[in-house]
């Protein structure tokens, strides 16, 4: 993929418009759907940006969190390294099979998203995403190697760590602060060793 040092400092709405313009520019001569992976640390605002940008593009929106992999036992998870956690927490094979490949083939994607409420950790009701010329995959670890052959544009939503932490804690109402002990090291490894900012096609500073 092309590497691009382009940084955009903006509010979410301005960033969404700029992102939509950039996607339109890059996909102008594409025949097949154009896949954008919108990545960033927890609390960066990826979901907000994707929700704002999707209607501007008429895009199919896939939330990568829907493919959280709950099949790993807690004991095994607690023994995992930071690298293992960031590589295994999302079921990228299912995301590829049930979401991205159907959409790339011009067919609706239909899948059961992750849920804490059921025994099999999958929601009872399936999500259906209609096909579109642009596919937005938003979520941390969306740019791991297992999906990279399908991604046309890799985007990093970059926000200072203290701002992200505050946003995350506010979102969780302060009830899940132990989350940081389980996940911060994995996120740090991912953005330092696997997908540093320089490896993304576009960096959005919000």
* Position 193 in a domain: yes
Domain count across the chain? 1
Nearest to 113 by CA among 66, 60, 65: 66
Q: Which residues of the chain have pLDDT under 70?
A: 1-10, 71, 164-165, 167-168, 171-181
pLDDT of residue 1: 37
Calpha distance 96→98 (Å, rounded): 6
* Position 135 in a domain: yes
Read off the pLDDT of residues 39-98 as tens digits, 9 standing for 90 and up: 998 888 899 999 999 999 999 999 999 999 876 777 787 888 999 988 988 999 999 999
* Position 1 in a domain: no
Nearest to 49 by CA among 30, 36, 34: 36
pLDDT of residue 3: 38
* Position 2 in a domain: no
Residue 48, domain CATH? 3.40.50.300
Residues 93 and 147 sit within 8 Å (Cβ to Cβ): no
- In terms of residue numbers, what domain contains 75? 7-205
């Amino acid at each position: 993929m092309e590497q691009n040092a382009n940084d955009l400092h903006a509010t979410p709405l301005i960033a969404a418009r700029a992102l939509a313009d950039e996607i339109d520019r890059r996909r102008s001569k594409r025949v097949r759907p154009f896949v954008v992976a919108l990545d960033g640390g927890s609390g960066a605002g990826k979901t907000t940006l994707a929700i704002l940008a999707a209607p501007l593009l008429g895009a199919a929106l896939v939330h990568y969190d829907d493919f959280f992999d709950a099949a790993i036992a807690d004991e095994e998870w607690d023994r995992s390294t930071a690298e293992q956690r960031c590589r295994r927490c999302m079921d990228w094979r299912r995301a590829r099979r049930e979401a991205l490949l159907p959409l790339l083939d011009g067919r609706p994607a239909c899948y059961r998203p992750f849920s804490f409420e059921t025994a099999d950790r999958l929601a009872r009701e399936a999500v259906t995403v209609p096909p579109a010329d642009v596919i937005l995959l938003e979520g941390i670890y969306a740019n791991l190697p297992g999906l990279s052959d399908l991604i046309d544009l890799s985007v990093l939503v970059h926000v200072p760590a203290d701002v992200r932490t505050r946003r995350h804690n506010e979102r969780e109402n302060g009830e899940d602060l132990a989350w940081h002990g389980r996940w911060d090291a994995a996120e740090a490894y991912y953005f330092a060793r696997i997908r540093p900012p320089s490896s993304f096609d576009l960096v959005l500073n919000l």
